[in-house]
Amino acid sequence: MRTPVAWLLLLFATVLCVNADVSDRYRKFINQHVNGQMSTTRCDSEIRNRRISQTNSNECKETNTFILANTNTIKSICGQAGEPYGEMTKSLQPFHIVVCTLRNQQARHPNCQYRGQSRTRSIAIRCEEGLPVHFDRDIIHFEN
């Protein structure tokens, strides 16, 4: 009789770990890519204050995109406000974004210097369990 209980506990622990992993990736996505008040002149300070760098290093990230929207609006892309786009989900509506591009190629965090550029584009993100967990790219939308 103990075996089924042990399996249930193991299954429950596995589900908790998976959900925690998605939650961690969602929080990282929000930190790296969401700022409703972002401007092109704030790239250096936002990237430094949010400690954004290349994954698992202190190297400056080549580019980082900030989405000027609230988290609920971005989350809705993972539902009715998005459509499949390869392995990603594409927003049905364009977003205001700021793309920060590294200017000093050899620098290390926190001495990264960026040039900000404002755009209005559809965005492609990866969704897991209804949450955005990865920003893939911005997409130029041409009207027919």
pLDDT at site 14 = 45
Whole-structure pTM value = 0.83
Would you please indicate which residues are annotated as catalytic (active-site) residues? 33, 134
Distance of CA 52 to the CA centre of its chain: 11
Walk me through the domains of the chain, giving residue ranges and CATH numbers: 2-139 (3.10.130.10)
Q: Tell me the three state secondary structure of residue 106.
A: coil
Contacts of 74 (CB under 8 A, 6+ apart): 34, 67, 125, 132
pLDDT at site 141 = 66
Q: What is the pLDDT of residues 62-108, one digit of tens each?
A: 999 999 999 999 999 999 999 999 999 999 999 999 999 999 988 88
